[in-house]
Amino acid sequence: MALVNEHFLKLSNNYLFADIAKKVNAFKVSHPKTQVISLGIGDVTQPLCPAVIEAMHKSVDEMASKQTFHGYGPEHGYDFLREEILKNDFLPRGIHLDINEIFVNDGAKSDTGNIQEIVRWDNSVGVTDPIYPVYIDSNVMIGRAGEMQNGKWSNVTYFPCTAENNFIPQLPDHRVDMIYLCYPNNPTGTVLPKEELRKWVNFALHNDAIIFYDAAYESYIQDDLIPHSIYEIKGARKCAIEFHSYSKTAGFTGVRCGYTVIPKELTAATLDGKERIPLNHLWERRQSTKFNGTSYISQRAAAAIYTPSGKQQTRETINYYMGNANIMMESLTRMGFQVYGGKNAPYLWVKTPNGEDSWKFFEQLLYGVGVVCTPGVGFGPSGEGYFRLTAFGERENCQEAMHRIAEWYK
């Protein structure tokens, strides 16, 4: 008799975006005349830039002739892209990586979810709270997270990030084997200064732990002092895996491309402690079995981001989104909201007025002004009492939403 993996059944209480959609639809039915504005979306809205489109057209044409057709590519990605990554994303920051430390992927979600396969199922896990749900859910599926008790997983250590600690997670007072960090952060939009990140690297080195560092929003950093890569910290190559994505950088949510860095110095012990295994090799082995590479067209598209025109055009789009963030931040602050994030990330993390709970405020905002936010508690227990706004919308929608909230709020 084939039995199901019952760990999956534990996940069934996770319905955040479906719950939001249901409530928004109910509102639309009862308020057909209201133009609903969504500031809750996590997807980008601006099209791919011309440099990327041109590269895609060209590679599609290559596929049309026998001489230039591309079938299966290398599982770890084409060198034309890996070389651009080394040259543009790391060398200018003084980080020297080997080309074989770069694994091109079909987006950061797959790799942040799959990476946990190459370490033992009974390692302990630590996450910042609130959090991008993939890190926990992928560990639940394999049985590593334990059971859900009072809103928390029994085998997961939560590092709360709230206004009280300025969204700086505190090191745990006990061992944690696997640590997930995401900076700039989704959902809070906050960043970690170098000296704080250094504490985590040192903790991982001392405890023989691994840090899974999600840098999906790295290109939104405006402040020169904030690290773009964990490898800017000494010793990180021995303890950290880093994930990058072109989704938010260049609007690749529908194209699918990113990359993962696994330095060769990064090793983990066998159970008997007698051997240290390089994780770079394990991941390469895993990928060559379960992954057949990102499409040639997507990789050509990604390489075009690194051309002079590609760089300039992607920067313009990022500036557009950050302009939205600025408008929302200024308006909400003027209205008296406590607003966090939004300076080095396309997310604003806002305290609900009068300590209302996240879902109650979500409904008030929807029924009061027809604006959709994301309730903070949907990202973890420490998100209660906050809501998230994204800067990925259209400028005029942002402005209109702020105008409506200001009228309603005074």
* Contacts to ligand PLP by CB under 6 A: 107-109, 132, 182, 186, 214, 216, 245, 247-248, 253, 258
- Is the CB of residue 202 less than 8 Å from the CB of residue 235? yes
Cis preceding-peptide flag for 187 (omega within 30 of 0): yes
> CB-wise, 181 or 268, nearer to ligand PLP?
181
Output the smallest distance, CB 43 to ligand PLP, in A.
Answer: 8
Using CB positions, name the residue nearest to ligand PLP: 107
Cα–Cα distances in Å, from 6 out to 3, 11, 47, 251?
8, 10, 41, 36
> CB-wise, 107 or 370, nearer to ligand PLP?
107
The letter for the amino acid at 29 is V
Output the smallest distance, CB 134 to ligand PLP, in A.
Answer: 7
> CB-wise, 258 or 342, nearer to ligand PLP?
258
Half-sphere exposure of 143 (CA within 13 A, CB side): 6
Three-state DSSP class for residue 126: strand
DSSP states of 170-234: PPPSS--SEEEEESS-TTT-----HHHHHHHHHHHHHHT-EEEEE-TTGGG---TTS-SSGGGST
Query: How far is the first Cα of the chain from the last one, in angstroms, to the nearest whole number?
Result: 64
> CB-wise, 180 or 267, nearer to ligand PLP?
180
Output the smallest distance, CB 346 to ligand PLP, in A.
Answer: 10
User: CA torsion, points 363, 368, 370, 375, in degrees to nearest 10?
Assistant: -30
> CB-wise, 107 or 341, nearer to ligand PLP?
107
Output the smallest distance, CB 360 to ligand PLP, in A.
Answer: 25
User: CA torsion, points 319, 320, 322, 324, in degrees to nearest 10?
Assistant: 160
- Is the CB of residue 290 less than 8 Å from the CB of residue 283? no
d(CA 78, CA 302): 11
Cis preceding-peptide flag for 130 (omega within 30 of 0): yes
> CB-wise, 44 or 398, nearer to ligand PLP?
44
What is the DSSP pairing of strand 276-278 with strand 267-269? antiparallel
> CB-wise, 248 or 300, nearer to ligand PLP?
248
d(CA 151, CA 146): 12
Kindly state the tokens that stand for 254.
Answer: 């529908």
Cross-strand partners of 178: 125, 210
Output the smallest distance, CB 244 to ligand PLP, in A.
Answer: 8
Output the smallest distance, CB 181 to ligand PLP, in A.
Answer: 11
Output the smallest distance, CB 379 to ligand PLP, in A.
Answer: 10
Output the smallest distance, CB 217 to ligand PLP, in A.
Answer: 7
> CB-wise, 377 or 402, nearer to ligand PLP?
377
- Is the CB of residue 387 less than 8 Å from the CB of residue 350? yes
Output the smallest distance, CB 214 to ligand PLP, in A.
Answer: 5
d(CA 24, CA 19): 9
d(CA 182, CA 63): 37
> CB-wise, 216 or 240, nearer to ligand PLP?
216
Output the smallest distance, CB 101 to ligand PLP, in A.
Answer: 19
Output the smallest distance, CB 78 to ligand PLP, in A.
Answer: 18
> CB-wise, 242 or 384, nearer to ligand PLP?
242
> CB-wise, 200 or 405, nearer to ligand PLP?
200
